[in-house]
Structure 1
């Protein structure tokens, strides 16, 4: 399959982009604050899931889902929050990116709610700090935590989740029609020359 040729259709400047999409309403610009308001803290404490975007120093991007019981992210104060790093597959893509480039973007989700909370900031990976005791799961504190100094926090409109019908059970496809994660996993292993038994 040939790659698309889009050379004559690429938006190349911020000015060109602004001319195409227009100017945002002042309220849309001013909804972003450089702290975690009480209302945003309440959202975070009720969220069982977030998506964290990171990028390496060279610009390679990654988005990683993080989930646990509601309130798994600890709001330390109005400027900082901490995400526990639970044991996983040991790839640590996001953590390696944070070591190289501290900029992160977080998207908090609450089931049944179509608005999402967006938080941007700078992150560091912490270890052996007493604050990690606040992040215990089944009585055990995480080995590592991702501390984020918040630079922007704002609520995002419901359009995307609403149009996707993400919480509407009736719009969900039957489970037997869903793609198989194991099939995808095995196919990718084979493409990379790894023998699958």
Structure 2
């Protein structure tokens, strides 16, 4: 059962976005008690030197400026922690993820918080969550040889401990719009409850 969805939108297309429309459908089918929305088409800052310095400073020793520098990152991590399901509306831009989505991931992928290093390698600390990715593309086939977005997203979600991942795809829209709609309908029909 889904109680809290963290919905992440990354498309710059607004209401015309197919990935957003598919996410609307997924959220409707999940019927969660709570939906927290994060629109990454709006600015999420890139990490920079001051951010890295703040993150590398032990929490008890951080200056007020360093705490302020990490405030958005802390808020994004809390949104992720509170959710049991992520619904990620992701367009493929130039074979990869939009820069806003990459900036979001950089903000939340903090050692000791979202993952940790062990003798056996990295261990994700955001376990027990589910992710449903609604992917849209004009010409790129999801999981095809030029899709660097979907495999990357599966990898980074797994890195932070989220391994229950489903994909709803409306890919290659500019190649065959009807087939793209049919793939999306089929994926939605097979979406696990």
Structure with the largest fraction of strand: 1
TM over 0.5: no
Give the TM interval when normalised to the shorter protein. Answer: under 0.3
Task: Give TM-score, length-normalised by structure 2.
Answer: 0.24
Is the radius of gyration larger for structure 1 or structure 2?
1
TM-score by length of 1: 0.23
Q: Which has the higher contact order (CA 8 A, sep 6+)?
A: 2
